[in-house]
Amino acid sequence: MKIICDKISKNFTVPGGVVRVLEDFSFETQAQDFVCILGPNGCGKSTLLKIIAGIVAPSAGRVVFEGPAYAGVRATLIFPEDGLFPWLNVRDNVSFGLEMKGVPVLERYELARKLMEDMELMKFALCYPHQLSSGMKQKASLIRGLLTDAPVILMDEPDKSLDINSKRIMCEDICRVRDEYRKTVICVTHDVDMALRMAKTILVFGRSPVAVVKKIDMRPFSEMSDKQEYCFLLEKLRGEIQGIIRQEVEKVP
Ligand SMILES: Nc1ncnc2c1ncn2[C@@H]1O[C@H](COP(=O)(O)OP(=O)(O)O)[C@@H](O)[C@H]1O
Ligand SMILES: [Mg+2]
């Protein structure tokens, strides 16, 4: 599934004026792309994801999904935190979308079991969210997103509030999703290294109204056979991206 953002604008009316978050924003993913978005706080990353997910309506413009016909909800947004229902255990939380679709209980538990085993969450299937670490909650949210079967997955800072080890595991899980499931993923993160490791396409946003300050196609690099040259290149890109974000953050609005 290809996502096309066609001249999207979004204004919010707030006390004292109007905030222009997006203005004529256009962007197109590839089919089965893995796009990582980086950018300063408050520039409009979450708003863009919500517009693509259909939760927030744009003030102008449209989102088009191009690909095989699909009857269900096309994009599922994985919320950074607290996306789980506190009154449901992990197994019921991750299979909630299937329950809503009317999938019989044994069938949805079986589908959930496979993914919970893959992501090493099976031991906690009967635990409630308050009994889980942040990393486990993120895993559960990711599994719930995958189980909805939507061809587009949107992740808003899946690494938020994770310690360095949980972050590494999360990154491995997401890379597995990238490689095993034929999904189009857009992932917002502040972690440049994570983006360099996961993404097929990196977008660096400037201050709002959002504009893509830099777009990097990572595909040719992942095929490089010279490891030393590859590491050197990643180091160069890391410096470049961090430089752009620093510049954008320091810009006076
Ligand atoms: N529902 C809303 N009402 C008013 N302003 C909003 C609303 N949602 C977001 N904003 C404003 O839009 C801007 C972008 O927010 P957001 O998309 O959350 O940024 P980011 O995810 O990049 O940090 C911010 O200035 C924020 O205050
Ligand atoms: Mg945000």
- Segment 185-195 mean pLDDT: 95
What is the structure's pLDDT at 169? 87
Task: Note whether residue 229 is domain-resident.
Answer: yes
Q: Is the pLDDT of residue 80 over 70?
A: no
- Confidence class for position 54, pLDDT limits 50, 70, 90: very high
Strands across the sheet containing 201-205: 75-78, 152-156, 184-188, 34-38, 201-205, 212-217
Residue 42 Cβ contacting ligand 1 at under 6 Å: yes
- Segment 164-193 mean pLDDT: 89
Q: Is the pLDDT of residue 87 over 90?
A: yes
Nearest CA to ligand 1 atom 14: 44
Nearest CA to ligand 1 atom 4: 12
The 3-state secondary structure of 209-234, one letter per residue: CCCEEEEEECHHHHCCCCHHHHHHHH
What values do phi and psi take at 218, rounded to 5? -85, -15
Task: Indicate the average pLDDT of the chain.
Answer: 91
Task: Note whether residue 59 is domain-resident.
Answer: yes
Q: Is the pLDDT of residue 2 over 90?
A: yes
Ligand nearest to the CA of 21: 1
**Distance from Cα 109 to the centre of ligand 1, integer Å:** 37
- Tokens found for residue 22: 């997006």
Nearest CA to ligand 1 atom 18: 46
Task: Note whether residue 187 is domain-resident.
Answer: no
Task: Note whether residue 195 is domain-resident.
Answer: no
Task: Note whether residue 213 is domain-resident.
Answer: yes
Lowest mean pLDDT among 19-23, 57-61, 76-80: 76-80
**Distance from Cα 187 to the centre of ligand 1, integer Å:** 17
Task: Note whether residue 238 is domain-resident.
Answer: yes
Any long-range contacts for 158-166 (C-beta under 8 Å, 24+ apart)? 158/78, 158/80, 158/187, 158/189, 159/189, 159/190, 159/191, 159/194, 160/80, 160/81, 161/80, 161/81, 161/134, 162/134, 162/135, 162/138, 163/134, 163/135, 166/133, 166/134, 166/135, 166/138
How much is the pTM?
Answer: 0.92
Task: Note whether residue 16 is domain-resident.
Answer: yes
CATH number at residue 19: 3.40.50
Domains contained in the chain, number: 1
- Segment 72-82 mean pLDDT: 81
Q: Residue 44 is part of which domain span? A: 1-72+200-253
**Distance from Cα 29 to the centre of ligand 1, integer Å:** 23
**Distance from Cα 86 to the centre of ligand 2, integer Å:** 23
What is the structure's pLDDT at 69? 85
Q: Is the peptide bond prior to 209 cis by the omega test (within 30 degrees of 0)?
A: yes
CA atoms within 13 A on the CB side of 141: 29
